[in-house]
Structure 1
Amino acid sequence: MDKVRLLSSPSGETESTGDSDQRQPTTPPPYSGPSLNAEEVSPALVQQIDASVKFPVRYLGLPRLDYRLYSPPLFKLSADTTTISTKAEYLSTNATALAAFIRAQATVPPKPQIQVRGTRGRRLDFDIKLNLMTLLVPEDDRQRIDYLRCVGDSELAYRGGARPDVLPAVGDGGLDEWCRRFTQDTAPVKSFALDRIVANLDTSWIEGQLRSLIASAKYRGSVEVTFLVAHSRVLVHSPDRFNQFLTSVTSLFSSRNKYEVVKAVWPFATTKNGEQGRKCVVNSENVWWLEWRDTIRYVISQRRQGWVTCEDKLESVMEGKCNQAEDINWGPEIL
């Protein structure tokens, strides 16, 4: 057998001596990656990778929240953006996992928003939306007053049946007991819901201010003010044990056991508007209105269709565009 001896050349390649004089590159083949020994991984790098998984990214100008919770793995967002739902089996069979997941989902708020539409006949003059979520989350986490609430013993709710009832009651068992009952429920079709709700926001007062503002702009059309809440529900369905078609057929001929016993409450204020000792989490309705009033008037004068953002506020304040909305020409009336 011929002996082959490898020599290193100045070019970084190897030369073989023997019967063949072939050059073989020392660089790795395509798609191969450099190996990394465990000894070469610094503790600082490990901590950095671990922190990126455990702690959420902070976005400048947005509330301090873990936004990953709005789109967890194996969940789908509904077309109207109100509900995320899943048929992940582990959440229907593991009470500990379900309780931990519900508690995590309760730490992020819903997204309350206002939609204002103005129409004359078949003509849409304006259709604007404003996001109110920032009014639920203070900059200092220690000032948050949101909480998780389970149904009371005498409160009518879906407690694992097809109709609302006051029974069964779990006493002090709370969320953990409801999760245990859900996971041990042998019904072929069942669901467990978490509802995120906004409390103590005076929507009637805000609507009145909006209608007065639009009337002062001499708008003669029909005005519709709607308060919407996106990302307001988390829904866990029983899994498709065989296939989706059979599950759909089963649900037609059998009752669905619903568990709608827990809510994540996100107060706008400690009490309702007008009550003594009321404290708002961020700003009162009046402060918010004074801050956005001129901007809303300006975007309506521009017949805006879409979101009203801080950029609109900057334009109306810095460039004086709010003054351009004093006299609005709405054009001819539409019959």
Structure 2
Amino acid sequence: MSSDELKSSAQVWGGPAATTEDSPPAYSGISQEDNNSNEESSSAPVVQTQTTRRPAARVTYDPLRRLGLLATVPYHKYNIPDGALSNDKMSLTVKYSDLYAQPQHMMPFIVEQALLPPKPILRVIGSHGMNTVDFDITLNLAHLLNLKQRKWRFNSAQVSPLQGGIGPLYSDEDDRVMTMLATSVRQFCRDKSENKSYTLTRVVEGLPTDMLAGQVRNLAATVKYRGVLKIDFVCERSQVIVHKQPSSWFSSILRLHPEKKFELAETVWSLFNLSDNEEDVATTEASLRTSQEWWKSWSSTIRNAMIAKHKGNIGIDDWIETRMGHSEPEPRIEWGNDRSHDY
């Protein structure tokens, strides 16, 4: 696939649109008569106006608007026939010989999968005793991603979906992206190993997990919860793996051929920026502000789920109920330990 085709794909996903420059102000000639008149009135005070450029307006976080932007994602492309999704939903493995043996087939597949964002998840579990789960709350954070800006990174080491690698970042418009991607694909397909895999990793960068985990713990303390909190940030759909297994089942069982891993390419997704221009690059400070606004908007909904001992996903319907005034009664006593009773 050419660089132009990749750029076209990025535009379909909402890539940067062309901007137009403001036209210069029109000036008309001044006649001699007007000039003489101006000389006569030169003693009159002249008031000059200066046009100042307004700073970028800050946009408040609106989950309904953010969820609407997810409608642009072609979700059907996550579903690959005969692909095996792992139990934790983090990796999808395909084993087509047409892919791992022929670069001209594998290259378009990797580019297509690179257009799809990962699914970052926040899961909060409160428990006490040996096996008593008080609440188990899951929140989908995918709407916090900036779908208009995806970058690439090429590595020689294993990649963490919530940390990424250490190589430089490249934008979709950079012609070197297609060159490096094609090189990695050819390197994989031409390798003669009996057991090999190529991994495309989708990485989320900029999510302040420590800050959000601290907010969750503070919230649990305010509702008098004294149990054990487990807070996990996971990234579902974060890896697409093309795997060639040994042709002999005997070799597979005995693991005679160690797997040779090509974990070379990753797409990097940042959080959206709270400004009037959603194409602004999200800095660390901007990502922190976005996460803080998200927490302010959702903390009451998470509080309700904790007190209600909710188990499962919470989403926009729960957020709307909270906005409409629903609030679970404050617990009268401490709860979440073996000495507590139901409040």
Equivalent position of 2:240 in the other structure: 234
Pair 1:216–1:246, CA change in 2 (3 A): same
Q: Distance in 1 between matches of 2:88 and 2:143?
A: 21
The yes-or-no answer on 1:113 pairing with 2:121 is yes
Deviations 1:62-103 (A, max 9, x none): 441111121122312111111111110100111122111111
The yes-or-no answer on 1:258 pairing with 2:261 is yes
Q: Distance in 2 between matches of 1:63 and 1:219?
A: 37
> Is the contact between residue 118 and residue 235 of structure 2 (CA under 8 Å) also seen in structure 1?
yes
Q: Distance in 2 between matches of 1:91 and 1:256?
A: 17
Greater relative CO, 1 or 2 (CA 8 Å, sep 6+): 2
The yes-or-no answer on 1:135 pairing with 2:144 is yes
Give the superposition deviation at 1:254: 2.0
TM-score (ref. length: structure 1): 0.68
Query: Quick check: which has more Rg, 1 or 2?
Result: 1
Q: Distance in 2 between matches of 1:262 and 1:288?
A: 30
The yes-or-no answer on 1:273 pairing with 2:281 is no
Q: Distance in 1 between matches of 2:195 and 2:144?
A: 38
RMSD, aligned CA: 2.8
Pair 1:263–1:333, CA change in 2 (3 A): closer
Question: One-letter code of the match for 2:215?
Answer: Q
Pair 1:194–1:267, CA change in 2 (3 A): same
Q: Distance in 2 between matches of 1:194 and 1:332?
A: 41
Equivalent position of 1:203 in the other structure: 209
Deviations 1:102-134 (A, max 9, x none): 111111111101111111213211110000001
Q: Distance in 2 between matches of 1:227 and 1:312?
A: 21
Give the superposition deviation at 1:253: 1.4
Q: Distance in 1 between matches of 2:329 and 2:209?
A: 25
Deviations 1:189-218 (A, max 9, x none): 111011111001111111111111111111
> Is the contact between residue 117 and residue 269 of structure 2 (CA under 8 Å) also seen in structure 1?
yes
Pair 1:117–1:279, CA change in 2 (3 A): closer
Q: Distance in 1 between matches of 2:315 and 2:304?
A: 12
In the TM superposition, what are the counterparts of 1:1-335 in structure 2 within 5 Å?
62-122=70-130, 123-138=132-147, 144-151=148-155, 155-156=156-157, 173-238=179-244, 241=247, 245-249=249-253, 252-268=255-271, 270=281, 273-274=284-285, 278=286, 284-318=290-324, 320-322=325-327, 324-327=328-331, 333-334=337-338
Q: Distance in 2 between matches of 1:254 and 1:136?
A: 39
Q: Distance in 2 between matches of 1:199 and 1:76?
A: 26
Pair 1:82–1:279, CA change in 2 (3 A): closer
Runs of 4+ more than 6 Å apart: none
> Is the contact between residue 87 and residue 240 of structure 1 (CA under 8 Å) also seen in structure 2?
no
> Is the contact between residue 199 and residue 264 of structure 2 (CA under 8 Å) also seen in structure 1?
yes
> Is the contact between residue 109 and residue 266 of structure 1 (CA under 8 Å) also seen in structure 2?
yes
Question: One-letter code of the match for 1:259?
Answer: F
> Is the contact between residue 196 and residue 245 of structure 2 (CA under 8 Å) also seen in structure 1?
no
Find the residue that maps to 1:204 and give its secondary structure: helix
Pair 1:333–1:298, CA change in 2 (3 A): same
TM-score (ref. length: structure 2): 0.66
Q: Distance in 1 between matches of 2:336 and 2:225?
A: 11
Question: One-letter code of the match for 2:89?
Answer: T
Give the superposition deviation at 1:186: 1.3
Deviations 1:15-60 (A, max 9, x none): xxxxxxxxxxxxxxxxxxxxxxxxxxxxxxxxxxxxxxxx99xx96
Question: One-letter code of the match for 2:187?
Answer: R
Question: One-letter code of the match for 1:150?
Answer: F
Pair 1:328–1:102, CA change in 2 (3 A): farther
Stretches of structure 2 lacking an aligned partner (at least 5 in a row) = 1-11, 14-66, 160-166, 168-175, 273-280
Pair 1:328–1:298, CA change in 2 (3 A): farther
Stretches of structure 1 lacking an aligned partner (at least 5 in a row) = 1-54, 139-143, 159-165
- Percent identity for Structure 1 against Structure 2: 29
Q: How many residues align?
A: 250
Q: Distance in 2 between matches of 1:327 and 1:75?
A: 47
